[in-house]
Amino acid sequence: MPPPVVLAWAMAAVALLAVPPAAAQAPRLEFGGSLKSLVLRSRDATGVGFGLNLNRLRLQAQGELAPGLAIDLQYDNELLLGSYLDTAAFRAAKELPGPQYWRADANYLERGDVYGRHRLYRASATVSVGAVDVKLGRQRIAWGTGRFWSPLDILNPVDPIALEREERPGVDAALVEARLGPLARLSAVWAPAPDRGSPSRALQWHGNAAGVDASLVIGRLRGTELVGVDLASQIGAAGIRGEAAWLRSPAGPSFARVLLGADYAFSNGLTLTGELYHNGAGARDPAAYDLAGQRAGRVTSLATRYAGLYAAYEITPLLKWVTYAVVNADDRSRAVDTRLVWSWRDDLELTLGAQRFCGSAASEYGRLRDGAFAALKWFF
C-alpha cells in the first residue's frame, strides 16, 4: 500500500478538489509541528538493561480549506535507536496490528539497532452545515472525564502508566455532532473494526443543568455493548467528576465500571487530582489476570480496584514538577512517575523523569521495571 505521507497528500488533494474554485483561493491553514527526542534507560523482563532513543518528527496542517470545510493532517516519522530493539518486548510489539481500521503506517528501515517507521497520527476532514458537524477520518473521540481511567472511553482507552501520556492514538471513524444549544449536543459515531468484525457505533447526549455537566452514552464499542453516564460539577473551588458504565461482552458476562474523581488547584501553584476506579472486568487474583489481553493492547488495567493521584507544582513560571501515582488495591502493587518539566523557551521543552514500580513479582506493577528518561521537544 502507499506510504502514509502519500495518503496524507492524497486526502488533502481530494479535499481541495471538493472546494468550489472561488472558495479554494484563500484557505486558512496553519502549518507547524514538533521534533521530539526521548532517551530511556530501563531493563527488560529478564533483568538485562537496555537503552532506547526515540526521535519523532511530527508535521501538521490544520485549518479551513473553505467556509464549512476544515482538515487536520498530522504525519509522524520516527527513528528508534538502541539496544531496546533487540528485546523480546519490542519484537512482539512491532508485530501487533494497529488499533485502527486504516493501516496508514509502515516501517521503512530495520537494521540492527536502528528502526524507522512512519504513520498518519491524525487525518480527518470536517464539514460543517449550520449546527451540524460531520468529521471523517482518523481522529480523537474523547468521551469521559477520567484522567487515569475512563469507563466511557472505549475507542481511545487511557493507559494510567503511559510514558508519553499526551500521545493518544486516534480511531478511524465517522463522527456526527449536532449542537442542540449553547451547552448541549448530540453525537453519533461509527467506526469500522480493524479485524473486519462488527463496527463500533454509539450515541452520546451531552448537556448542562444547574451547573452540572452530564453525558449519556449508549452503543456497541469494540464488540462490547455499553450504557454509561458521565457527571461533572463544582463544590466550592473543587471539581468533582464521576463515570459509571454497564458493559456486556459477547465472550463473557456483563460487568460494571465506576470512576470517582476530584480536582483542586491551590493558590500557591499546587494542583491535585485524585481518582478511585472499580473495574468489573478485572480479577482480584493475579493468577487470573488477562495478560494476553494486555500484551495485545485490549486491556489497560488487570485488577478490580485502583486509586490514582496526580500532583503538579509550579516551582517557577518556567519550571514545573509533576507526579503520577497509581495503586492496585487488589495486589498492592504501585507505580510512580515523577518528572521535572522546564519550558526553556516558548518553543522548547525539556523533561527529566523516572518511573518506579513496586510489588510482588506476580503483581500488575511489580512485574514492570524501573526506568529513567529525558526528553527534549521543539515546537515549530
Say what the pLDDT of residue 12 is.
43
Residue found by looking up cell 521503512 in the block: 108
pLDDT tens-digit series, residues 14-66:
444 444 444 445 779 999 999 999 999 999 988 899 999 999 999 999 999 99
Give the integer Cα–Cα distance in Å for 365 and 335: 6
Look at 166-175, 287-296, 307-316, 336-345 and tell me which has the smallest mean pLDDT.
287-296
pLDDT tens-digit series, residues 86-127:
999 899 888 888 788 998 999 999 998 999 999 999 999 999
Angle at 77 between CA 75 and CA 80, to 5 degrees: 150
How many helices and strands, by DSSP H and E, does the chain display?
Answer: 4, 19
Residue 358: strand pairing partners: 334
Give the integer Cα–Cα distance in Å for 171 and 141: 7
C-alpha cell at 149: 481511567
Burial (CB count within 10 angstroms: exposed 0-12, middle 13-18, buried 19+), residue 160: buried
Look at 63-77, 190-204, 328-342 and tell me which has the smallest mean pLDDT.
190-204
Give the integer Cα–Cα distance in Å for 111 and 107: 11
In this structure, are residues 319 and 342 in contact, taking their beta carbons and an 8 Å threshold? Answer: yes
Helix or strand run (H / E) with residue 129: strand 114-129
Give the integer Cα–Cα distance in Å for 345 and 143: 33
In this structure, are residues 257 and 281 in contact, taking their beta carbons and an 8 Å threshold? Answer: yes
In this structure, are residues 358 and 380 in contact, taking their beta carbons and an 8 Å threshold? Answer: no
In sequence order, what DSSP letters do the residues of 175-217 get, joined into one string?
EEEEEEETTEEEEEEEE--TTSSSPEEEEEEEEEETTEEEEEE
Say what the pLDDT of residue 25 is.
53
Grade residue 292 by pLDDT with cuts at 50, 70 and 90: confident
Give the integer Cα–Cα distance in Å for 78 and 107: 9
Parse the chain into domains and list their residue ranges. 1-139
C-alpha cell at 47: 533483568
Grade residue 194 by pLDDT with cuts at 50, 70 and 90: confident
- Res 302 pLDDT > 80: yes
**Residue 184: which residues within 8 A CB-CB, separation 6 or more?**
205, 206, 207, 208
Q: In this structure, what are the phi and psi dihedrals at residue 49, rounded to the nearest 5 degrees?
A: -70, 150
Mean pLDDT of the chain, nearest integer: 91
Give the integer Cα–Cα distance in Å for 360 and 372: 21
Say what the pLDDT of residue 3 is.
43
Percent of the chain with pLDDT over 70: 93
